[in-house]
Amino acid sequence: MKNQWLAGMLLGSVMAFGLPLASAQNTAGQDMRNAGNDTKGAAQNAGHGIERGTEKGWNATKHGTEKGWHKTTHGVKKGVHAGAHKTDQGARKVENSTDPH
């Protein structure tokens, strides 16, 4: 009976003091894993933010370049048309002033 009581006390003390110690080690290890996963997630979020900013910058540059190209093309066409029109007017004026009738 004394041996059973001693065995019960020993088992009870191991359970009372041993299991929380083991669970504290598991908790510390899990905390480290969680910290690693949190760091990984933060790095991925930062990478996605950089990617989005780069994409927006690229699209804005492309849009601005195309807009400038269209405005330049339109201006050149308008200038060529105006120049051709003035040349035609000048040619008609010369033709009319040198006509013998």
Residue 101 lies inside a defined structural domain of this protein: no
Spatial distance between the Cα atoms of 76 and 80, rounded to a whole number of angstroms: 6
Residue 35 CB partners (closer than 8 Å, separation 6+):
none
Per-residue pLDDT tens digits for 40-87: 999 999 999 999 999 999 999 999 999 999 999 999 999 999 999 999
Number of domains the chain contains:
1
Spatial distance between the Cα atoms of 77 and 58, rounded to a whole number of angstroms: 29
Task: Determine if the pTM surpasses 0.85.
Answer: no
Residue 15 lies inside a defined structural domain of this protein: no
Per-residue pLDDT tens digits for 10-26: 667 666 665 555 555 66
Residue 65 lies inside a defined structural domain of this protein: yes
Residue 56 lies inside a defined structural domain of this protein: yes
What are the distances in angstroms from CA 81 to CA 7, 68, 88? Answer: 109, 20, 10
User: What does the pLDDT read at residue 20?
Assistant: 56
Per-residue pLDDT tens digits for 25-37: 668 888 999 999 9
